[in-house]
Structure 1
């Protein structure tokens, strides 16, 4: 891949990553509940989903999903329902200042965070459609495809990890002061609950 093309890819990848969405909300929620360092597990789960999306597009399956209203809608509504479920669960979570309970929340298993991040990004058919439109701009059919897809995947994923961890997860640290009292916890739980539900509803409604 030519340096100029790679720079364009990096710029586009950064713009995509900085665009707020379900992944950013999930990352900030993880950072608040489990801490900045451990939020990386949810971020890695989201990247695993991006790898799946890129592979799906590279294999041509993405074209079939995008062109099949039934398949697209099944994935779309499943993703929307999952986000709404996460939102309702967060919204209804009661404030708890007990040290033992707080420690349990902060020690959520890494795999649990990874799995949630995976499903948040995986159940988003818009990502497949986006990569269908995004990928061809940086792939040259006359050149070996495997190397190009690997460069694209590594670039997009590396940028997304940096943005999610050092921007969204770090930004959530500024809200930690709200977790020290019940009212602050309630505000955060309801705020992130509404955000999750809002993104889920938008995913279901926007065509």
Structure 2
């Protein structure tokens, strides 16, 4: 991969990472409820899903998904259903109130955040189709593939981690005082519950 091509890849990754989606919403939710430092586990889960998507595309399975309406629909509905589940769960959850009237919210384990991050990004067939169209632009089939894929996925993941952690999680961190009260935490549950459901609807209808 030439330097100019890599800069094109870098620019594209930055623009894509700043585009709000389910991953960004999940990251902000983790940061506000679990803390900025802990939110890295959800972000790492999302990167594992990105890696799986690229491997799927590299193996050619992405072509099958893109050309099979039934398989695409199954994955699409599964992804939307999971986001709706997360949204409803947040809407119905009740913040845990301490004796002083404040709330720390429901604490998730690192593994729980990691697993949720994986599912949020993995159950999105559009990501497979996107990488199917995006990846070949930066891979030269006439050159050794391993090094190219390593640089490609390394750039994608590095940019996404930096944007998710320092922008989305960092921005959400500034609202933690607001969510320290019962009322604030309840409003947070409603906000992110609605956002997850809206993303699910977009996943279903904007295709």
Per the normalisation by structure 1, the TM-score is 0.95
In 1: Cα distance, 2:42 partner to 2:89 partner: 17
Aligned 8 A contact 2:95 2:106 in 1: no
Contact 1:38 1:110 in 2 (8 A): yes
Task: Return the offset for 1:97.
Answer: 2.5
Aligned equivalent of 1:148:
148
Superposition pairs of residues 16-95 of structure 1, within 5 angstroms: 16-95=16-95
Correspondence for 2:172? 172
Partner of 2:11: 11
Distance (Å, rounded) in 2 between the aligned partners of 1:28 and 1:180: 15
The list of structure 1 runs, each at least 4 consecutive aligned residues, that deviate by more than 4 angstroms after superposition, is: 99-104
SS at match of 2:44: helix
Partner residue, 2:137 = 137
Where 1:37 maps in the other structure, the secondary structure is coil
Task: Report the counterpart of residue 119 of structure 1 in structure 2.
Answer: 119
Is 1:158 the equivalent of 2:164? Answer: no
C-alpha separation in 2, matches of 1:198 and 1:117:
18
**RMSD between superposed Cα atoms in Å:** 1.6
| Native 8 Å contact 1:97 1:180 kept in 2 | no
Q: Which moved more, 1:172-181 or 1:76-85?
A: 172-181
- In structure 2, the partner of 1:105 is 106
Instruction: Kindly indicate whether the alpha-carbon contact (under 8 Å) linking 1:178 and 1:188 is maintained by their aligned counterparts in 2.
Output: no
Aligned to 2:193: 193
1:98-141 deviation per Cα after TM superposition (whole angstroms, max 9, x unaligned): 279955734x2111100000000000000001001111111111
Q: Structure 2 length as normaliser, TM-score?
A: 0.95
Q: Gapped runs of 5+ residues in structure 1?
A: none
What is the total number of aligned residue pairs between the two structures? Answer: 206
- Quote the Cα distance in structure 2 between the aligned partners of 1:170 and 1:141: 39
1:64 & 1:180 partners in 2: Cα distance?
Answer: 47
Q: Aligned equivalents of 1:130 and 1:8: distance in 2?
A: 17
Find out whether 1:204 has 2:201 as its counterpart.
no
Aligned-partner Cα distance in 2 for 1:86–1:28: 14
Q: Secondary structure at the match of 1:47?
A: helix
Spell out, residue by residue over 1:140-173, the C-alpha distance to the aligned partner (whole angstroms, 9 max, x if none).
Answer: 1111111111110000000000000000000101
Mean Cα displacement is larger for which, 172-181 or 157-166? 172-181
